[in-house]
Amino acid sequence: MTSRRNFLGFSGMSAVLSTVAATSAQAKSTATPAEANQANKAKEELGYNPVRTPNGWTLPYTKKEGVKEFHLIAEEIEHEFAPGSTAKCWGYNGTTPGPTIEAVEGDRVRILVTNSLKEHTTVHWHGLILPSGMDGVGGLSQPQIAPGETFAYEFDLKQNGTHMYHPHADEMTQMAFGMMGMFIIHPKEPEPIDRDYCLLTQNWAMHPGTYRPDPSVMVDFDLWSFNSKVFPAIESIVARTGERVRIRIGNLSMWNHPIHLHGTSFNVTGSDGGRWPKSAWRSESTEIVGVGQTRDIEFVATPGDWAFHCHMSHHTMNAMGHGIPNPTGVNMRGLEGKIRDHLPDFMAMGENGMAEHQQHIDAGHHPGPANTLPMMTGSGPYGPIEMGGMFTLVKVRDDIAPNDFSNPGWYNPPTATIAKRISSNPSYGNPPRKPKSG
Ligand SMILES: [Cu+2]
């Protein structure tokens, strides 16, 4: 099997190139006007503004004698991270992440869990205050749910906030394969939020050329995702100018993620402890969401296309190499022919930095392993964006209808507000440099 490490070693020093053309089109949101109307109706009927799970969905429930009953089914699924990379994953009700569960503080919920896997499982309700026997730790708080069995969890929701669910049975494998979801509990009193989004972070060891995540990997991951998708397949966060937007971020991955939003100073306003009192809010542009934590950020939308991403720069890349010789500054031109005697596919790259990789990918130069995304993907109105992984866009426009979540396309800024070229002469101007001492 080709591992992430040795694959890069032979393919030309640094980048993973793909047989598939880089996906330049952005992920389209699927909301239609009919759905928008439904969302409005839902808001009135529900008494809260439902969360939107980009690329995901919310689990419907039935009300039985005052209890909200949900039904999860744990199962193997075919999952696409972005066009060009699919895998056998495990999830709930046909998706990873599983559907978002949404309810209101004070509700009594019954959650049926059917196990359609070939090994046992449980579900732990991460962050919820509940009876010990409902906590979902296999062997500790309950017998395991054997293949084919259905268990019922039932408890009162005694809090509000941004929570998660995941197995507490063969966790290393089941979570590495994608079994996780968000559990949002709204307060009884509606909150002054216009658009409420939730994103769950995860990492995947999808080694180049393979079709199933590797659960044994601890640090050297290939894909970094929001709601199990990687850029450019992650739906944009859409808002109308002036709206108050909340993004709830949960982390069930193996790394902490410093989540950064461009163009605004957001407030960190909540967590699994609910919406904090204003005195506890913090103004930030980057907030670390630690493993096992959730964080809510809120901001007032300002027009533009704004990058929203993890600030670990390797987490905004797809499959790439670690621990290989650094090619930057190395003249490889003489070397290329000699190496091709042994490795006909070898292409020297990276002498002047890594940006040329996406150009090679877009030009279709260098076939990489099957089912493997390029390191950098996605193009914007001015060229390659050179991002992948945990990267998406906050798209704010003046003319977006309430509850319209469809992708408005690229922002068209006033001409006077775009950075522009004023010289192509490398000796232009006289930029000051710090004088050499001594
Ligand atoms: Cu990260």
In 39-158 the beta strands, taken as DSSP E runs, fall at 62-64, 67-82, 85-92, 101-104, 108-115, 124-126, 150-156
- In the reported structure, the alpha carbon of residue 55 is separated from the centroid of ligand 1 by a whole-number distance in angstroms of 19
Q: Whole-model pTM?
A: 0.86
pLDDT for res 365: 66
220-248 per-residue burial string, b: 16 or more CB within 10 A, e: under 16:
bbbbbbbbbbbbbbbbbbbbbeebebbbb
Distance 255 CA to ligand 1 centre (A): 7
Å from CA of 226 to ligand 1 middle: 10
How close is the Cα of 294 to the center of ligand 1, in Å? Answer: 14
CA 230 – ligand 1 centroid, Å: 12
Cα of 287 vs centre of ligand 1, distance in Å, is: 11
Question: What is the Å distance from ligand 1's center to 203 Cα?
Answer: 9
Residue from 132, 188, 144 nearest 169 by CA = 144
Question: 392 alpha carbon to ligand 1 midpoint, in Å?
Answer: 13
Ligand 1 centroid distance, CA of 256 (Å): 6
Q: What is the DSSP secondary structure assignment for residue 224, as one 8-state letter?
A: E
Length of the chain: 438
Q: Which helix (H) or strand (E) holds 43?
A: helix 33-46
Q: How far is the CA of 117 from the centre of ligand 1 (A)?
A: 30
Asked if 241 and 272 touch (Cβ cutoff 8 Å), the reply is no
Q: Can you give the pLDDT at residue 37?
A: 59
Residue 325 has a pLDDT of 67
**Dist. CA 181 → ligand 1 center (Å):** 18
Q: Helices (H), strands (E): how many in the chain?
A: 5, 23
In sequence order, what are the beta bridge partners of 239?
Answer: 396
Residue 223: its H or E element? strand 223-226
**CB distance 377 to 23 below 8 Å:** yes
pLDDT for position 318: 86
pLDDT confidence of residue 208: 86
Phi, psi of 386 (to 5 degrees): 60, 45
Strand bridging mode 124-126 / 161-166: antiparallel
How many whole angstroms separate alpha carbon 309 and alpha carbon 96?
20
Q: What are the pLDDT tens digits along the chain (438 aa)?
A: 344 433 333 333 333 333 233 333 445 444 555 555 555 666 777 889 999 999 999 999 999 999 999 999 999 999 999 999 999 999 999 999 999 999 999 999 999 999 999 999 999 999 999 999 999 999 999 999 999 999 999 999 999 999 999 999 999 999 999 999 999 999 999 899 999 999 999 999 998 889 999 999 998 899 999 999 999 999 999 999 999 999 999 999 999 999 999 999 999 999 999 999 999 999 999 999 999 999 999 999 999 999 999 999 999 988 866 566 667 777 767 777 777 777 666 666 677 777 776 666 667 666 678 888 888 788 899 998 888 999 999 999 999 998 899 999 999 999 999 999 999 999 999 999 999 986
Taking the centre of ligand 1 as the mean of its atom positions, its distance from the CA of residue 113, in whole angstroms, is 31
Burial of 92 from C-beta contacts in 10 A (0-12 / 13-18 / 19+):
buried
Give the Cα separation of 373 and 20 in Å (integer).
8
CA of 257 to the centre of ligand 1 (A): 4
C-alpha of residue 285 to centroid of ligand 1, in Å: 15
Residue 252 burial (CB count, 10 A): 24
Q: From the CA of 234, how far away is ligand 1's center (Å)?
A: 15
- C-alpha of residue 115 to centroid of ligand 1, in Å: 31
- Expressed in angstroms and rounded, the spacing between residue 210 Cα and the centre of ligand 1 is 23
| Ligand 1 centroid, distance to 251 Cα (angstroms) | 10
**Would you state the pLDDT for residue 151?**
98
- Report CA(61)–ligand 1 centroid distance (Å): 33
